[in-house]
Structures are given as structure tokens and as C-alpha cells.
Amino acid sequence: MSASLKRKAWTVVLAGTGINLALGILYTYSVFKASIAGDAAFGWEKGALNVPYSVCCLVFAFAMIWAGRVQDAVGPRVTAFIGGLCVALGFVLISFSTSLGVWILGFGLLAGIGIGFGYSAATPPGLKWFPGWKAGMVAGVVVSGFGLASVYIAPLAKLLLTHFTLQQTMLGFGVAFAVVLSLLARMLVNPKEGYDPRSVFGARPEGLAAAPLTEPHHEAEPREILRTWRFWRMWLLYAIGAGAGLMVISDVLGMAKQSLAESAFIAVALFAVGNAAGRIVAGILSDKLGRRPTLRIMLSAQAALMFACIPLVVEGGAGAVLLVVLATFIGFNYGTNLAIFPALARDTWGLEHFGANYGVLFTAWGVGGFALSEMYQRLKAGGQQPLAFGIVGGLLVVAVLLTLAMPKRKIIEAS
């Protein structure tokens, strides 16, 4: 029975990872943006090229609040199916138009809602099948799919765009979403009531993040956590950490084109490798060292990388290859956010309302991504690209200081 339940647990985790492997097309937007910029039929202003992406990030994040409640109420299967349907409809819609307004509606709103529902359904069931001392690892594996998606989607999109129009490519992705996500959604199930993961995976090993919580564990609801400074501090940290990475994601292809020309899509794939690796490594590391130390290390490294990018951006093409290498490490540090913060939410507020609680916290991801990617695009359009990296580097330093005020908590002993 134990072996069967372990297989079931890993099946749920892998299904969630597969869903994220599809939804991670969001991180390939810079490939689509390059095609839009080079196609006279679109005719968008340079300063508006990031708008569908920025809106998608924002909608994705706020849809997580609604999606989290749906996931908690009806389960992950239905929630993921709704997500796949919305993403498919969004891509089909933009396949028939070059209008900025339609792309905001299709890619920004519909796909953003769909990604929010699919992403919301992917992680919670996996966490429920595993004990608390594996929470970081499980969250890291599931969300690594989202980060890793560009490894195959970027070259696939590039290949498709050499044979088909951008609209035809979007239609193909839309149909693929409808099929793949509906199949994977069927594999997402919560464990039966009364299931104890410790009976399957054993008790927590000695010495593994062994410090207990300093106060009794409480299953908190969103309305409770919103009244605490702990939540808003965590929200701000998430907004800064995620926003920094999303800013680079929005233009990693454009930065790489300075020296890699038509092979610049490789930079998107390398960023994705770093992004996915960061999620897995940070998840495992935070289980061993604790969430707070891992988060501080990540934010400090990200700040250093942002400042290191400034002279390379000023130099232009001469430092473009090195800039891509730095972008890969920026992707690694960005990815750590998506493993640490779900585990932090689970540790702090429990699993009973995890979908809704993490949905509320995840709005930080959307606000940070929207604000910093839009700031970057506007500054770049005005020839002030280095200033964007300097501003974000400074925000990351502030975030490092904020981690010093976080409570010294490790993982929950109860599960």
C-alpha cells in the first residue's frame, strides 16, 4: 500500500510539473515580441511592446486569488481544466488579429486567467501528498516545469515562425493547450481525507531544519493573514524578488540579439534552465537550511547581478555574450522565489486554505512583474536601460535588509 501511495504522490507531482511545462509559454513572450516588432502589420509603438506580457503577469497573479478559492472548494482537476480552456481560447483569439487591444484581451486577460487557474491547481495537491519536511523540494519540482518551459518552447516557436506566420503559430499553441492541459488535469487529485503523509514517507530525519515553530501552528484564512505585518513584508519581498527576474525575462531575447543575432533564442532557453534549476535547488536548500537564510542568499546574489549588468548594458554589443551568462544566473535566482514562497506560505499559514492564501500572496508576483517590466521597457525606449538595472538592484538591497526582520522559522513539525 505504501509503495502504491508513493507512486500516486509522484504521479500527481509530475502531472503538476507537466501542466507548468505548458503554461511556462509566458516566459517565451520575448520571442513573440521580436516577431511583433519586426512585422509592419502590427504597427505597435516600441513603448507598448511589453503591454500584453505585463498585463498577463498582473492578471495571472490576481486570478490566483479566485483560482485558489476554486481549487480549495472543488479540487485541482476542475481548476486546471478551466485554466487550460482559458489559455487555449486566448491564444486562438490572438491568432486572428494584429491589434494591440485584442492581444491585451487574448494574451493578457484570457491567457493570464488561464495560467492563474492552471498554476494554482498544480502545486497544492503535490504538497498535500508529501510531509512538511519535503515541502520545499515538492514545490521546487512542480514549479520547475514553468521555468523550464522555454527550453523547448523557445526553439519550437522559433522553428514554427520560420515556416508559419505569428498568427498561425499562436493558433497551433492554442490547440495544443486545449489537448495537453485537459489530459494532465485528469491526473491531479487530492489525497483522501485522513491521509497522513508520514505513514508513507516516514518522519522527518534528525537534523533536517529541526528547529520547531516558536508558536503553535494555526490554519489561517486570507482575511486573517491580510491583517498581519508578516504577510505584507513577505508580499513586498516577493514583489521585488520576482519583479527583478520578470523584468529581464521580458527582454532577454532583445538583449541577446546584440551579439547572437538569429541564435538569440538560445539565451531564452539558457535563462529557462537557470530558472528551473533555481526552483529545485532552492526548494531542497530551504528544506535543509530554512527559508529565511535561503531567501537572503538569493536576494543578495540577485542584487549583485543587477549591478553587474549595468556596465555591460552601457557597452552594448561588446558585453552582450557575458550579459546572457549573467541573465542565466538572474534566471536561477528568480526561480528560487517560486519555490521558497509557496513553502513559506505553507509553513506559516498551513494547508487548509493554502490555495487562497498563496493566491493572495502571489499578487506580489504580478504587481512586481508588471511594474518593473513596464518601467524597464519605458526606460529602454528612452535610452536609459542602465538606470532600470540600477533601480532594481537598489530595491533588492532593501529586500535583503527586510529579511533580517523575518522570524527565525523553519518547517512545520505537524506534517
Write out the three cell numbers for 411: 518547517
Per-residue pLDDT, 87: 95
Q: Higher-confidence residue: 382 or 412? A: 382
Averaged pLDDT for residues 229-234: 92
pLDDT interval class at 413 (50, 70, 90):
very low
Query: Cβ(360)–Cβ(160) under 8 Å?
Result: no
In the numeric block, the cell 555591460 is attached to 312
Averaged pLDDT for residues 229-241: 94
Averaged pLDDT for residues 174-193: 91
Per-residue pLDDT, 213: 38
Write out the three cell numbers for 348: 506559516
pLDDT interval class at 412 (50, 70, 90):
very low
Query: Cβ(20)–Cβ(119) under 8 Å?
Result: yes
Averaged pLDDT for residues 203-224: 58
Contacts of 138 (CB under 8 A, 6+ apart): 13, 123, 126, 127, 129, 130, 283
CA 257 – CA 229 distance, rounded (Å): 43
Q: Higher-confidence residue: 62 or 199? A: 62
User: Exposure string (b/e) for 194-208, b if CB count within 10 Å is 16 or more?
Assistant: eeebeebbeebeeee
Query: Whole-number mean pLDDT of the chain?
Result: 84
Single out the residue of 165, 112, 117, 146 nearest to residue 278, CA to CA: 146
Region of residue 287 (phi > 0: left; psi between -120 and 50: alpha; otherwise: beta) = alpha
SS3 per residue for the chain: CHHHHHHHHHHHHHHHHHHHHHHHHHHHHHHHHHHHHCCCCCCCCHHHCCHHHHHHHHHHHHHHHHHHHHHHHHCHHHHHHHHHHHHHHHHHHHCCCCCHHHHHHHHHHHHHHHHHHHHHHHCHHHHHHCCHHHHHHHHHHHHHHHHHHHHHHHHHHHHHHHHCCHHHHHHHHHHHHHHHHHHHHCCCCCCCCCCCCHHHHCCCCCCCCCCCCCCCCCCCCHHHHCCCHHHHHHHHHHHHHHHHHHHHHCCHHHHHHHHHHHHCHHHHHHHHHHHHHHHHHHHHHHHHHCHHHHHHHHHHHHHHHHHHHHHHHHHHHHHHHHHHHHHHHHHHHHHHHHHHHHHHHHHHHCCCCHHHHHHHHHHHHHHHHHHHHHHHHHHHHCCCHHHHHHHHHHHHHHHHHHHCCCCCCCCCCCC
Proportion of the chain above pLDDT 70, given as a percent: 87
Per-residue pLDDT, 414: 39
Query: Cβ(50)–Cβ(250) under 8 Å?
Result: yes
Mean pLDDT check: name the lowest of 94-98, 135-139, 153-157, 191-195. 135-139
Tens of pLDDT, residue by residue over 55-103, are 998 898 889 888 888 888 888 999 999 999 999 999 999 999 999 999 9
CA distances from 312 to 255, 266, 363 (A): 10, 19, 32
CA distances from 350 to 19, 130, 411 (A): 24, 13, 11
Per-residue pLDDT, 415: 39
pLDDT at 207 over 60: no
Tens of pLDDT, residue by residue over 142-160, are 888 887 887 888 888 888 9
Per-residue pLDDT, 318: 47
Per-residue pLDDT, 33: 86
Contacts of 57 (CB under 8 A, 6+ apart): 26, 112, 246, 365, 366, 369, 370, 373
Tens of pLDDT, residue by residue over 342-354, are 888 888 888 778 8
CA distances from 127 to 134, 139, 141 (A): 8, 7, 11
Per-residue pLDDT, 210: 40
Per-residue pLDDT, 215: 39
pLDDT interval class at 112 (50, 70, 90):
very high
Single out the residue of 113, 100, 105 nearest to residue 50, CA to CA: 100
Tens of pLDDT, residue by residue over 310-337, are 887 765 554 556 767 787 888 899 989 9
pLDDT interval class at 188 (50, 70, 90):
very high
pLDDT at 217 over 70: no
Domain architecture of the chain: domains with CATH: 2-191+220-403 (1.20.1250.20)
Write out the three cell numbers for 4: 502504491
Tens of pLDDT, residue by residue over 247-293, are 887 776 666 666 666 666 666 677 778 888 888 888 888 888 888 89
Averaged pLDDT for residues 25-34: 83
Tens of pLDDT, residue by residue over 358-385, are 889 989 988 898 899 889 888 887 888 8
Tens of pLDDT, residue by residue over 383-408, are 888 899 999 999 999 999 999 887 76
